[in-house]
Structure formats: C-alpha cells, structure tokens
Structure 1
Amino acid sequence: MSPTPSRWSDLDRPPLSATALRAALVRPGGLWTRLDITDTTGSTNADLAEAARTGAAAPGTVLVAEAQTGGRGRLGRSWDAPPRSGLFLSVLLDPEADGVPVERLTWLPLLAGVATATALARAAGVDTALKWPNDLLVRVGGEDRKLGGILAERADGGVVLGIGLNVSLRADELPVPTAGSLALAGAPTVDRDPLLRAVLRSLAQWYGQWTAAGGDPAAGSLQSAYAAGCATLGRRVRAELPGGGELSGEAVAVDGDGRLVIATAEGTRHEIAAADIVHLRAT
C-alpha cells in the first residue's frame, strides 16, 4: 500500500511556514495585521470575503493557500494548480478608510501588478511584464506566457485583492499552452517563502505611497511605473468587450482612471475600462 500523500511528499515543493512568515511580515504599525495559511481551499478570495462579511477578518489580513481548487479570474474563469506549485493569496484592504476616493479604486489591481512585478524582478531574478489590466507575463521559449493574474473584488469592510502566481509548474502541468511559470522562465530560485515575503513587502510599499497621495496615480508614481512595465502599450491589440463586440487598434496609453486608450486605424481614440485584451502580432 502506498503511503498517504502529505505536505512533505514533494520535496521540491516544501510547505510554507506560517510562524516564520508572521514573524517577518506582521509588525506593529505595518500594513499586515494577520497572516493565515490553509492547506487547500476553493478560493482564497471567496474565503476572505466571507470572513470579512462575518467580522472574522479585518483590513490587513493575508490568507494564503497551499493549494487552490477553484481559483477565480476575470470574466468568471476558474483554474487550479498542483499543491505548493505557486503562490495563491488574498489580502483584505480598505483604501477608502485610508483616504482613497472611490473613483480611484480602479487603480488597486494595477497597483498590485506593479508591486508584484517589482518584487519578482528583485527576488526571483526574472523580468516580469504587465498585460493590461491585471495579468503578469514572463518570457518562455521566446514568447510571452501568462505567469499569473490579479483579481480585486469589493467586500464588506473593503476590497479583497487576490494574487495567483505559477512558481514551479513544469511544462506538463500547465493548464493551457499559453501559461508559464517562474521555473520555466529560468528563475534561479523557486523558493516560495522569500518570493511571498517580497510580494507582500512590495505591495505594502506601493499601497502606502498610493494612499499617501490620496489615490492619485500620478502623484504616487504609480501611473508612470505601470506604463513603464506594461507590455500592452505600443502594441496592436484586440479588445474583446464584456457586452460582446470587439475593438482593434494600437494601445497608446493608460489614462488617469486606469483605462486603456486604444487608437484605431481611423484615428479615433477609445478609453476601455474593461475588456479581454489580445496582443496581436506585428504585420
């Protein structure tokens, strides 16, 4: 009889230590007030939103899952991954209580993209690009692959911000051929502990700058940082709109509201607040 799989069954993917992470990240006066790790769950976003609704979680709470079986992305998409093969986390924040007007909350997922990309460049040694509005890309085999995504959802007591990253996924474990991972991108380390610490510290830093500026993306350098790291800008794209229909043209800017500005061949400019963006090959 084969032994029952445990958290230590795959030695290349050791479990995270909640005790060590709390000691490193939960500090008096810091953004993070609580950090919990669960072995497996359907969705950390759903769990944290429910905890916020019942008063069991306050702003600053971090929830990490070793395995996520029903992770949710944009447009209702779902996905899962092998246990301990990635970083699956959600945080509860209250930007309005921290001085950000409601009309500037659209920048929160973009901020998370900048913070995560910055952290991975430093901690994983891999260049990470942003695909508007909330995907992270890495180069694998000479092409852009999706490394992870970000999902922000309103909840009682603030906003639940979810981040999912493929860390050690191998080629035969990819959910779709267009996906990638830090391992496949040649990262010198796939140790999730320092990667998670780097992501949460970077998120706290960028969030602090943004809230200190009253949510103004220009004053807090967020808008320029996003533009500098956005692989969508300057490319021909097709925007598949939520209500049906599509729009093609060149992505020329991200405006002050976080919308993607697309210039069509006819010379008109359109501000897109929500869409599925497809990067088109140059002709």
Structure 2
Amino acid sequence: MPTPGREPLDEPALRAAVLNGGLWTGLRVLAVTGSTNADLAELARQGAPEGEVLTADRQDAGRGRLGRGWTSPSGAGVAVSVLLRPTVPASRFGWLPLLAGVALADTVREVAGAEARLKWPNDLLAGPEARKSAGILAELVPGSGNGGTPAVVLGIGLNVTLTVEELPRPDATSLALAGARTLDRTRLLAGLLDRLDRRYRAWTYVGGDPEASGLAPDYRAACATLGAEVRAELPDGGALVGRAETVDDDGRLVIAHDGGRTAVAAADVVHLRPTVDR
C-alpha cells in the first residue's frame, strides 16, 4: 500500500489536464524507472516527436548536473522529463533550463503556495530559508530522428513530501517542510506542464529571444543568485569569486571580480553572502 499522501499519480486526471491540444503530444506514466531523462533520450534517438512527457513515481538512477544522483522515495516527489525540439538558434539553448526554472518557481508559488527563488543555473530554492527543493537537467540529443533535428530532454526533480530524515543533503528541503499548502503531485505536475507549455511557446515564437519573450526579465526577478557574492566552481577545476551581476543574452552568469567581468556558461555556484537589493 502507498504511504498516505504518497499515492500514485492520477493518470486519467493528468492526461485530461495535459493532452489538450497544446505542446504536449504524449504522456507516459511509470511506477518506477531508472531515469526519466535516460528513457526519454532513447525515445528521442528513435525519432519521438516534440512534446513527449515521461514521469515516474520513483526513479532508481535519477541524475542531476555533473553526474550527481537524484533519488526519492516512491510518491514523495515529482520526477518528469519532456522532449523538446526547439527551432531556435543553438546559442539560445542555454535558456532552456532557466525557462524551466521560471515555470517551476511559478508553479511552486501559485499552485503549492510556497516561497520560491532560483539559483543559477538549475536549482529551485523553497521556503523562508531558501533551501534546495528541486533540480533541473537539460541534455542535448544530437541528430535524434525527425530529419536529424536535435532534441533537448529537460528533466525536473522536485521534492514534495520528503521528511527531514529522507532529504538527500543537509541544505535540501521539500515543499512539505517549506510550508506548502498543496502537496498533490498530480496538481503540481499538471500546473508545471501548463506553465512550461506557455513559456516555451512564447520563447520559440520569437526565435528564442529571451528579452522579447519576457523570459529574461522574469528569470532575473526570480533569481536569488543575482546580487550575491558567489564562488563559481568551473568545469576545468578553476574557480571564480565575485559578485553575480546579471544573466546575459545567452543565459550565462556574469560575475564581476577583481580581474574584470566574466560570463560563465557552466559552473557550480556557491552563494557566499546573501543577495543585496537590486
């Protein structure tokens, strides 16, 4: 029997809410899988169209950035991946995890009723203590069917009912611990997919322009990293310490430091001091 409050997703209700003639063309709901991103990437390589959604009540081998694991008890979170084939310049692809972050933050605030901020590039911070409650992973699947059109698999993992003892790391939280008024995973997932649909279509309509679509100003307004003193741990093993100033047109974090200003495309960011008023 499922743990009370951790019942399986309501697939009929989810289908009715999601498959309504918008972006989402297919929905797969699994009890358990290794990784929703890995499953959907394989479907992309087989030529699956844009708009496929894959979700599971439990992941045994979920992945975060830099190869980190992401696991959760069955029914305790939202684990979902979506397949996109954006017809925008590849230089704009870096905005996709940020777009997902804005849609997720809007969902947590508007559906769950919890405080939500974003940490560049892929974390959602929830509750008054701004602890990590979700992660986002975007993976490119080059030349994956459909005439060789590249696909992007966008995965989101959200902690919903995890207890303190179940949290994967000491700086994490869940919506339950963050004081959310709604913990219904079906409602949360339907709300997230609706907001992703609207954000993505607005963004692609203007060729991925983050300013014209309204994505960039909304992301900057929601991002707790901007204005903070940070240490950016770079993929080459180096580090950059300074003040996070803005996010540029390609979704890169611009850091002001002793040597000038550097735009960072990928990094693990540590907030050293709180955000200042902007």
Q: TM-score, normalised by structure 1?
A: 0.92
Deviations 1:92-127 (A, max 9, x none): 01102xxx1111111111000001111111000012
After superposing on structure 2, the runs of 4+ consecutive aligned residues of structure 1 that deviate more than 3 Å are: none
2:270 to 259, 262, 278: 278
Aligned to 1:54: 46
AA in 1 matched with 2:118: L
Identity among equivalent positions (%) equals: 58
Name the CA distance, whole Å, in 1 between partners of 2:82 and 2:102.
Answer: 16
What's the offset of the Cα at 1:245?
Answer: 1.3
1:105 to 80, 93, 106: 93
Where do 1:103-252 residues align within 5 Å?
Answer: 103-139=91-127, 143-155=129-141, 156-157=144-145, 158-252=151-245
Segments of 5+ residues of structure 2 without an aligned counterpart are 146-150
Deviations 1:144-177 (A, max 9, x none): 2111111111122511100000000011100111
Segments of 5+ residues of structure 1 without an aligned counterpart are 1-7
Name the CA distance, whole Å, in 2 between partners of 1:73 and 1:246.
Answer: 21
Is 1:71 matched up with 2:57? Answer: no
Name the CA distance, whole Å, in 1 between partners of 2:250 and 2:2.
Answer: 47
AA in 1 matched with 2:113: G
Deviations 1:200-233 (A, max 9, x none): 0000010011011110000001000000000000
Q: TM-score, normalised by structure 2?
A: 0.93
Is 1:10 matched up with 2:6? Answer: no
Deviations 1:222-264 (A, max 9, x none): 0000000000000000000101110100001100110000011
Name the CA distance, whole Å, in 2 between partners of 1:143 and 1:11.
Answer: 27
AA in 1 matched with 2:137: L
Length, aligned pairs only: 267
RMSD: 1.1
Alignment check: 8 A CA contact 2:2 2:8 kept: no
